[in-house]
Structure 1
Amino acid sequence: LELNAQVVRFPSGQETEFGGQAAYLMRIFGIDGATVSEKPLENTPDVARLSEDAVLKKKLADYVSANVGAVDLGVYEIPDEFLARKVISWSTFGSARQANHPFTPLFQPADFAGLDYSALQLVRTPEALVERLDNGACQGCHQAGSTAGFHFIGLDDRTTSPLNRIEVGISPHLHAEIPRRVAWLRATTEGKEPNRFRPLSFAPAGGWKDAGEVSYVPAEMAMPCLMPEDAARFGQTWQCGGGTVCTPLATASGVRTRLAQCLLPKDSRAMFSGHPCLTGSIASNPSQPFNDRYTITGQFAAFASDISRTAYTCRPPKIGVPAGIAYRGCDDKDRTFAAFRAGKPMPNEICGLVGGKKFDTCVATNNFDQCLGGAVNRGNRPACSADHFCREDYMCQSLPPDTPGAAKVKGIGFCSPTYFIFQMRIDNHATPWASAARATMGAGFGAAEEE
């Protein structure tokens, strides 16, 4: 039994700068009849024990040095004696949090400075080696390229409120991983040696050959990227596509690699709702990650002072939107999905659902059926689909089937902050699975004063 369970969530009203926090317990149990046993977490170090045992830590460093080629390919298996039986992964900004980089506090680049990196495919420096190890640990992989700390969420059935359904049930990592597995299986069935290289979990999909380097497709809008100074530590990486540029969103003390995403250039006229608008820094607390502190350091997009249907304003994290979101209210064309045309590229934004002030007020009554049915508004959000994913800390939500014009955008959803989806949170919010709540689609939707 492999367990990855959200065990606590701090709402955005409490974590106003982070836009909320959540902790996930990760454990593995062996089950043999009536006997249950703890199993080690694959490639995930027991940081506390290793930090206190210099001999054991040196032994782990020796293992890494002796197996650097396998680590480079991503096909290593660290022996059980070094591994943790229980860890906690943290979000939001999970890919940047020091707690999700377990090898970084254990080893300095100097510990691996004497290795030969010249023939390796991905790892070209000691810093890249430690980052590769971090990303291969359970909490590293499940917070980089994931959706809400998971890679396979699944879809909701008809018993779930149509106002609260997931449109895309897999993570960006799994989407990119499937072609690699298909290529591996094809080569194996044909009796060929498969390409065994496994990319970083936040890498985009690639073209897979039987051997040699991977030809990555360009990363799409709001997908992860490596800043030039970080990419220089690695071998072949990837580029941003679609007219985007790699833009840093957050740094964290104690972490070398910055959280960056492929975003619009500064002052771009192609701004869209949901685009990040704030940068920040995280002061890491290694012993108590729940006391990590995020500080907004600047605003780089969406400078309108007020909400309107013509200009973009930057909505703050305190409403539950990590890194802020650019926002423009829906106009009449947005409500009818006029920009969505068959055979044309999917627009970056769609008139989806937002809670608004009425929803926040209604939630206090604890009557969620009423809140969902009568206090949800229309508002522009990033468009998403099975091929176009939401950025970190957001997930693709379905439009209710009775939304006017929904047939025109079948298969397309809108990006919501992860914890706006009731199924993804455990903080005593009722889950409206048994509810038949339906939105009154013409009542107040898109009213700027309610957004």
Structure 2
Amino acid sequence: MIGRFLLLLAALMGPGIGTASAVTLDSSVAVTDPETLQALERGGLSISRLLGPALGLTRDVDNRSLFSVRALTPVRNAVKQQIADEPGNSPDPYVAALAKSKDSSQKFNPKYIDDNGSTLDLTGVVNRMDRGYLGHTECGEIRLIYRFHYSVEEKPGQRISSRLPLTMSLVFNAKPTAASGRASKDRPRSTSVSCADVAKRWLAAGQKDLAPDQLAAWLRSDEGPLSGAMLNSAQIMRLELNMQVLRLSASSRRDFGGHAEYLLKIFKWDPATATFQESKMENQIDRKVVLADRQAFSKWLLTDRNIYDLDRGRLVIDEKFLATSAVSVAPGGMSRSQNNIAYGLLDDDAVDKALKDYVARGNQLRAVKSVAGFNLRLNEMTCTGCHQTHGIAGFHYTGADPASEPRRNAVFVPGSAVFFADLPRRRAIVEEFAAGRHPDFSRGFAARPDQKYAEALKGTDLYDGWGSICYRGTDASFKDWSCGEGLRCAGVHESAIHPGFGTCVSEAGTAVGDPVEFGEIKMSKWGSDQYCRLSPATAKACGIDPARDKKPLVKLAGYGAARQRYDNPEQKTGGFPGGLLRKASCDKLPDEATCGRLAKTGFNDCIGSGKDHKFCTREFTKTAGLRACDKAHPCREDYICTAGYDDLAEAKPGKGTCIPPYFIFQFRVDGHPRSWVQDTQD
């Protein structure tokens, strides 16, 4: 197994670990290098070039004004309506209060959707042949992931541009089909291609050691997996949307140190009308529908066939129980009730009986060995549960930024810990396809990779390393979710929904990047949560027994605690979920740290005032020793790995820094220009 995944580890570790830096495919299952992706976009994988043939257009569509194209009109209309409706629809009282306010500065500005200068940048190509079990596609899927990008002239001579927290995935059937109509360079007719042929091309791509432009050219060549014959408009299946619709600052949502909501939607391609139409979302349970008839849902779900599929991570919920929209929230991940869409829909006794009867009939359970395991698995298979399991601000794939992006606004690691930890499983399935065998599509929990891949992930933090999700209890489904050597499992966001879960942090004392605040989430009703600190205790605010307070070790010489609301509940502080230990200076940094920049008091006010982000970063940040990160050593949940600062002598080459995502301009919907002169087409 080690030999099988050497390419994976080399790709994760980056330069200097037995491979050239030009190798940009993560173990033959993803293209993540920004320079290669830019070359692929220039070479025909822009979303406009791909949609053009499907729309019957004879000319190239400029990426600008893309949402004005008839095919995307339903997408544009649905997004704008959701932005308008979301505050009033939220079960969270903090968010619902926004509906009564005329201040829209904390919401995604819908004007960007219609602006001629808005574009979509290709930020990832992901092989999802592991989804071949779904039935609607024999060989799985290929996803092209795009990030929304604006460029506006706020004032004469002052142009501001940035990405925004909105991704659109254009999903293709991995098996090529003959395109209808006249063949062309971008729309050739294809002959019969097997799943093995598709897989072999991806495996060959993982062996290439080429410069970005050369690799992109090979991927698009007749031999590559992204050639016109292997990936064309006839294979388009749907469009998947994930976007931040609103964000509350730490000063306006003090208990969690901020709050953000993410809209998830799916639009299926309708060839008859040449449009993307809103559709039911895969496995996203509609609470209202199920609550109206819980018995029908329970009867459907608790069958041997569905228990088998749920246990192996391949359940497909009947469409009659599904929703067309979903909203996930951050921070807090799977501890937040709104991210547990199935909470309270099933009777625990009924689930327990069904599992025992299933085993009594001679069936075997691999992952789901308890009611708690059943509930967690069901929730993490929904869109809301999946996206908030050790994600990056509501995303599992954001894409990394090219070197041309200012470091103050650049992402270093393109995907979450969950994304990279799942690569060995996906790679194994590609290899099985290539060998002509029927793959085993089963998977472990999203929060913890299957134990059989532990050896493949050795040397990384992706299995049981620092920042991993862990468990402190005796439940049979999770009892093996321990932390690696030198680490302990600490409860940062305790939750009655999933009790006993925590985060792997340093065992001896407190290391840079470790949490310095611990607490529990109290739910008054589904969707309405409050974060109550146990350490240091906030007894007045949440009725916590002060005797439970165990103050973390933060009074270390030369170190400081970056925090959201530490001693003074009314203090206006930054959004640091769980807080983090930092070194006050960049002198004599420990092994786990690198030198970076951190927002200080006044940063949010500066952004909110409409001042240029460059000015705010220069005037309201400070250097500090922060947790170092890369693909193999990701950040804790609710933090993002940003690009390192080349101008800081103490910064470690090849490392990023872990900071809250909303300190990065492109991951917050507030603070961007609210008015500008509409760009005109050339």
Instruction: Quickly name the TM-score band, shorter chain normalised.
Output: 0.7 to 0.9
1:233 is matched with which residue: 455, 476, 479?
476
- Cα RMSD for the two superposed structures: 2.6
Q: Does 1:329 align with 2:566?
A: no
1:315 is matched with which residue: 553, 560, 563?
563
What residue in structure 1 maps to residue 259 of structure 2?
Answer: 21
1:133 is matched with which residue: 353, 378, 384?
378
CA distance, structure 2, for counterparts of residue 196 and residue 304 of structure 1: 45
2:308 is matched with which residue: 69, 74, 80?
69
4+ residue runs over 6 A deviation: none
CA distance, structure 1, for counterparts of residue 309 and residue 398 of structure 2: 30
Distance 1:15 1:235, change over 3 A: closer
Deviates more, 1:119-128 or 1:370-379: 370-379
What residue in structure 1 maps to residue 531 of structure 2?
Answer: 294
CA distance, structure 2, for counterparts of residue 160 and residue 233 of structure 1: 47
Q: How far 1:177 sits from its partner (Å)?
A: 1.0
Q: Do 2:639 and 2:660's aligned partners in 1 also have CA atoms closer than 8 Å?
A: yes
What residue in structure 2 maps to residue 349 of structure 1?
Answer: 593
Q: Does 1:412 align with 2:655?
A: yes
2:286 is matched with which residue: 15, 40, 46?
46
Q: How far 1:8 sits from its partner (Å)?
A: 1.0
CA distance, structure 2, for counterparts of residue 66 and residue 241 of structure 1: 36
The superposition leaves residues 137-168 of structure 1 with CA deviations (integer Å, 9 ceiling, x where unpaired) of: 11111100321111111012345322221110
Distance 1:58 1:240, change over 3 A: closer
Which consecutive unaligned segments of at least 5 residues does structure 1 have? 210-215, 340-346, 432-451
Which consecutive unaligned segments of at least 5 residues does structure 2 have? 1-238, 455-460, 537-549, 566-572, 675-682
* AA of the residue aligned to 1:428: G
* AA of the residue aligned to 2:491: P
1:279 is matched with which residue: 512, 518, 542?
518
**Higher relative contact order (CA closer than 8 Å, sequence separation 6+):** 1
CA distance, structure 1, for counterparts of residue 478 and residue 649 of structure 2: 49
Q: Does 1:94 align with 2:339?
A: no
Distance 1:58 1:333, change over 3 A: closer
3-state SS, counterpart of residue 27 of structure 1: strand
Distance 1:55 1:38, change over 3 A: farther
3-state SS, counterpart of residue 50 of structure 1: helix
Q: Which has the higher helix share?
A: 2
* AA of the residue aligned to 1:315: R
The structure with the largest alpha-carbon Rg is: 2
CA distance, structure 2, for counterparts of residue 235 and residue 226 of structure 1: 6
Q: How far 1:297 sits from its partner (Å)?
A: 1.5
What residue in structure 1 maps to residue 14 of structure 2?
Answer: none
Q: Do 1:123 and 1:235's aligned partners in 2 also have CA atoms closer than 8 Å?
A: no
1:260 is matched with which residue: 502, 509, 523?
502
Q: Do 1:315 and 1:321's aligned partners in 2 also have CA atoms closer than 8 Å?
A: yes
3-state SS, counterpart of residue 469 of structure 2: coil
CA distance, structure 2, for counterparts of residue 235 and residue 417 of structure 1: 28
Q: How far 1:218 sits from its partner (Å)?
A: 4.6
CA distance, structure 2, for counterparts of residue 76 and residue 360 of structure 1: 43
Q: Does 1:111 align with 2:350?
A: yes
What residue in structure 1 maps to residue 668 of structure 2?
Answer: 425
What residue in structure 2 maps to residue 442 of structure 1?
Answer: none
Distance 1:285 1:376, change over 3 A: same
The count of aligned residue pairs is 401
Q: Do 1:309 and 1:331's aligned partners in 2 also have CA atoms closer than 8 Å?
A: no
The superposition leaves residues 369-394 of structure 1 with CA deviations (integer Å, 9 ceiling, x where unpaired) of: 22223442101211111110001110
What residue in structure 1 maps to residue 465 of structure 2?
Answer: 220
1:401 is matched with which residue: 641, 646, 649?
646
CA distance, structure 2, for counterparts of residue 293 and residue 429 of structure 1: 29
The superposition leaves residues 39-94 of structure 1 with CA deviations (integer Å, 9 ceiling, x where unpaired) of: 2211121111110124533443345x542111101112111111111111111102
TM-score (norm 1): 0.82
What residue in structure 2 maps to residue 37 of structure 1?
Answer: 277
* AA of the residue aligned to 1:175: F
